[in-house]
Amino acid sequence: MRLRSLAAVTTMAVLSIASYVAIAQAPAANMSFFVTSANPKGGNLGGLAGADALCQSLARAAGAGGKTWRAYLSTSTVDAKTRIGNGPWYNFKGERIAVNVADLHSANNKISAATSLTEKGTTPNYLAGNPPTPVAQPLQHDIMTGTNEDGTKNADTCRDWTVANATQKRCSATPIVWGAIRA
């Protein structure tokens, strides 16, 4: 009888610890911004639709798929700031990074190495400082958005996220979608 009680208590303790770990790794309910943790496709993301689908898939796998996610990317005809809703935006931990679009694109935003978390709650190995810059080699990702600091488009869009080859050097890298933002 004591052996069964000990086994039951041990089992409950293990389940409690496992539940705590699972809860500790779940995104905050208000998460509305993350830096993507993976992109195996290089610059060819399948256009904005493919990039959005990647963000949605990563969010779903992390337990935040019940929202509409959009990649923070511009194209030759679309500004990133027009695709992302009005805010506010919160990271994996529920920390506010920006109140609205103007705040997101100002020096007031709270985007830093500490707040630029992936959908898994991890810090990419290339971010440190404010603005975030590489800290480790080899870099896991090249950050590409095709977007200027004010949220408007620039020319570096890997042909609207449809090219991943050596003819456009940056597009052959494995870019990260800088921020997936709930629309």
Q: What is the pLDDT of residues 137-146, one digit of tens each?
A: 444 445 678 8
pLDDT at 25 over 90: no
Comparison of pLDDT for 129 and 84, the residue scoring more: 84
Share of residues in the chain with pLDDT > 70 (%) = 64
Question: Which of 36-50, 56-70, 124-138 bottoms out in mean pLDDT, i.e. has the lowest?
Answer: 124-138
**Rounded to whole angstroms, how far apart are CA atoms 83 and 134?**
27
| DSSP bridge partners of 177 | 144
Is residue 74 within 8 Å of 144, Cβ to Cβ?
Answer: no
DSSP E strand stretches across the chain? 33-34, 69-71, 89-90, 96-98, 142-144, 175-177, 180-182
Domain definitions of the chain by residue range: 29-182
Into which CATH architecture does domain 29-182 fall?
A: Roll (3.10)
